Amino acid sequence: MRPGQSGRNRSHHGEDPPSLDSGVKRKEIVNLIAVYIVLCAILCLPVMAQAPAALPHDMSNYGCIHYDGKICDQAPAPPPDYNPLVGAWVRFSLLRNGFTVQPPDAPLYVKFNGDGYWSMMEFPADRPKVNKPLEQQTPQELFTRFDNLDGGWGNYTQDGQLNLRHHKAGLGPGGGGESTQVRAWSFEGNILLLAGTGSIRSPQARFRKLPNQPLGSRALVGSWERTALSVNGAPVSEPAPQHLLLGEDGWFHQTLLPPGRTAVPGKPREQWTTQDYVGAYKGMSAARGTYNVSGSSFIRKHIADTDPNLEGRDESGQYTLQGDTMTVQGTDAAGQKFEAKYRRLKPFDVYAPVAPARAAAPKPTQ
């Protein structure tokens, strides 16, 4: 024992007695263990499933909204579990009044998105690549670019065996207007038939489904509207928003369709002047193709474009996603640096009842 050290302060083993702090810590540990045991007991309890619905034994009149005497003659039908029209399709045959009109009409590509939006495009392949502004092209060059070009976008309704395409805007002058086009749909094996609803079921358009393309991520699947755009660092004021449909099948359609574009009444397109074409098509653009998303990378391959100079090119960049807002920075198909912001469109209920359809414009003719 060292001088001045009392033997009463040491144990018989020569160790210092436990302090008050160590006792408190030991109590805290015991309390934590107790809490852990209680939490484990709660979390390990079996999860009880929500009780299934209790429904009547006799379901023949379930949900009836109108009776004819004691007989139910009107009841809402639940939507089907699968919408067979969703996907990308190519029209390979078009009959009008029993006569083949494709060709000369070009194949039409129509896309039905699962969120209730559609887009379609019809323009011939192998158009000359005249890389000049519209104002500098000749009437013949412009006729070759825009002849047999058509399409549009909007949302759609499925009413039994009827498909109602609600047109929001069109590629051609006049924009197609707000109208609804009704077609009876059916399948001939794997072939989709969209037919008129009149007595002779004209026109009759037959489509094959395009093969699904691999996607690294489905984060961007849906329909989008562009809300802001800058090119090479300068903001761009657009005459209309671009609408971008990204399918879960790896195919995209995008359209920018300004309102107010007009055709020259009573004047055949072969006789239009350069200024006539500029008034009808300036500011309009549309493209379709394949796309992929992987990590933060977003690439669109322009397989077809209203500007044939952009066909085969990539529109690539990096994206960020915050809720229903997407920002993309990269290089467009023309090689320009861009930043674009999009908002996701609210899904459209394709099975919701609609008012009687108004007659659509003569074109698109599928």
For the chain, what are the domain ranges?
87-344
At 59 the pLDDT is 64
List of residues 6+ apart from 290 with CB closer than 8 A: 213, 250, 251, 252, 300, 301, 303
- Alpha-carbon dihedral angle through residues 338, 344, 349, 350, given to the nearest 10 degrees: 20
At 8 the pLDDT is 44
The tokens of 331 are what? 């290089």
At 360 the pLDDT is 46
Cite the DSSP H helix spans in the chain: 20-43, 139-146, 274-281
Distance CA 246, CA 158 (A): 20
At 144 the pLDDT is 95
Distance CA 255, CA 327 (A): 18
At 38 the pLDDT is 66
Distance CA 13, CA 16 (A): 9
Distance CA 98, CA 129 (A): 35
Decide yes or no: CATH 3.30.465.10 for domain 87-344: no
pTM of the model: 0.77
- Please compute Rg for the chain using Cα positions: 32
Three-state secondary structure call for residue 266: coil
Task: Give, for all 366 residues of the chain, the pLDDT tens digit.
Answer: 444 444 444 444 444 555 556 666 677 776 777 776 766 666 666 656 666 767 676 666 767 777 777 777 666 666 666 789 999 999 999 999 999 999 889 999 999 999 999 999 998 999 999 999 999 999 999 999 999 899 999 999 999 999 999 999 999 887 555 689 999 999 999 999 999 999 999 999 999 999 999 999 999 999 999 999 999 999 999 999 999 999 999 999 999 999 989 888 899 999 999 999 999 999 999 999 999 999 999 999 999 999 999 999 999 999 999 999 999 999 998 889 999 999 999 999 999 887 654 444 444 445
Residue (of 197, 181, 231) closest to 340 by Cα position: 231
